Amino acid sequence: MLSFFKKYKFFAIVMFVLSAIIITVIYQVMEPKRSLKVFQPAEVSADLVDTTLQYVKKYHIIDDFSLTNQNGETVTQEDYDGKIYVADFFFTTCQTICPIMTDHMIQIQEALANDANVLLLSHTVTPEIDSVPQLKKYSIEKGVNDAKWNLVTGDRKEIYDLARKSYLVAKDNPYEEFDLIHTENFVLVDKRKRIRGFYDGTDPRAIEDLLEDIKILEKEQ
């Protein structure tokens, strides 16, 4: 019996390895690939969407923009072409949800520090307060990586329209024109400028989900 095993030991090892490879391949083929939904305005809560878009069911993308970052540089959609990115809305003097959201953006920045395919974009909702120097001061205090993350300011109406008509994450303020109530949402945008996910920027578990979804999106694109 021992001589039999010695004689066929090599054959048995080869068969074992081959079987393991075959099983792995079959599992990978049979396992359904996860994909992320493409969100349209009609599928988002109406109070977060401009009335002109509430019934749009296809082809929604993020509009072009031209804003100014913490370094006084113009930031446009071209800076995000071919990139996956996470966007949100905040203001530097906020004492409620914004500090938590910023801390979580820092967490995302650190988790993706070596991933050149993913960028971050934060829009201030108080551009009259958040000047370039104010954004720069804030970015230094928080440890923002300028190569990875733009904090942007600009025309209030443009920011308002981006929040309500592009990213679909802000409530209208009926008491003041071109004003809004920003939410805690982080928005995942793909390389084709489509919305692929919304995440509670104050919830640690949602940040974990976001990071996992970025991996899925990178495999897809």
Which phi and psi angles does 72 have, rounded to 5°?
Answer: 80, 15
94 is in an annotated binding site: yes
Query: Do 203 and 43 touch, CB atoms closer than 8 A?
Result: no
The three-point CA angle 19-20-26 to 5° equals 90
User: What are the CA-CA distances from residue 93 to residues 71, 137, 144, 188 (Å)?
Assistant: 19, 12, 17, 25
98 is in an annotated binding site: yes
- Sequence-ordered list of residues with C-beta below 8 angstroms from that of 74, at least 6 positions apart, any chain: 66, 67, 68
- List the binding residues for Cu cation: 94, 98, 182
Question: Which residues are part of a known binding site?
Answer: 94, 98, 182
